[in-house]
A and B are shown apart, each in its own frame.
Chain A
């Protein structure tokens, strides 16, 4: 059995709720699509993300976080239960600078799974996937069941309280 994708989409909605103040909200990372083994994220341009004030290009660290999250969430869709999986390592090639004032889209996929490791890759682009801004490969750990046991409960609780407020 693998994690229920509807539950994972609920996690994505929790992350999108305003007022959390975490790194996802600070960078403005949104989950736009969740499939088994592949998650798509988007980040909109913000002045606060700029790494080069002369060109207005967003910082590589923002792309790193976007691709790390994209690979990690893609891996999460293949775990047994709702959980986030820690990054073992991640390599990013920066192919061209991201154009200022345009969103960056990241599409991730899991391309191999073993008992202990999920092997993933992701591409970041700005509307034309054949002109990628960056490419990443990342490996993620298959956790022992129960390591993040309370994580799923917390997400479900946060989702319920969020729905209650609206």
Chain B
């Protein structure tokens, strides 16, 4: 089994997605962490800033964080050991991501044996005040 497969199995056994996130370079680059299998945290980091004048997080960094959260969430709850194929990603931005703690919560809906849809909501100070909403369509191998 691959190193990623091992990390995923340990993450699933201990119910801790952080063990999986540590095995993925891009997740480490963003600096994201998991608080539960469906709640993820992106601490403020200068390397995720897109507009220094506000300052605001890069919309792509927020999107990448949400996409990675959806991948980790799916791998944790679907009992898969391989990174699922992303077919499509769609994101709406509601307000700028300020330079502060950002959170994302994922919800999965599955249809058929291979297709998985995850919706992700991101917020900062108040879970009811979203900064972005996204959805990812996955194909499981």
Q: How large is the interface on B (under 10, 10 to 19, 20 to 34, 35 or more residues)?
A: 35 or more
Chain A contacts for B26, CB-based, 8 A: 48-51, 58-59, 61-62
Contact among B52, B59, B68, B90 for A51, CB-based, below 8 A: B68
Name B29's closest neighbour in chain A (CB-CB): A48
Chain B contacts for A1, CB-based, 8 A: none
- B92–A21 CB distance below 8 A: no
| Chain B, range 24-47, C-beta contacts under 8 Å to A | 24-26, 28-30, 46-47
Given A49-B25, A151-B53, A26:B64 Cβ within 8 A:
no
Give the complex CA separation of A110 and B83 in angstroms: 33
- A65–B63 CB distance below 8 A: yes
Count residues on chain A whose CB falls below 8 Å from chain B CBs. Answer: 41
Q: Residues of B with Cβ closer than 8 Å to A?
A: 2-5, 23-26, 28-30, 46-53, 57-61, 63-65, 67-68, 71, 82-83, 85-93, 96
CB-defined A-B contacts under 8 Å, sample of 22: A23-B48, A23-B50, A23-B58, A24-B58, A26-B29, A47-B25, A49-B29, A50-B25, A52-B24, A53-B3, A54-B5, A60-B89, A61-B61, A69-B50, A69-B60, A84-B50, A87-B93, A89-B93, A90-B90, A91-B88, A97-B85, A148-B53
- B46–A22 CB distance below 8 A: yes
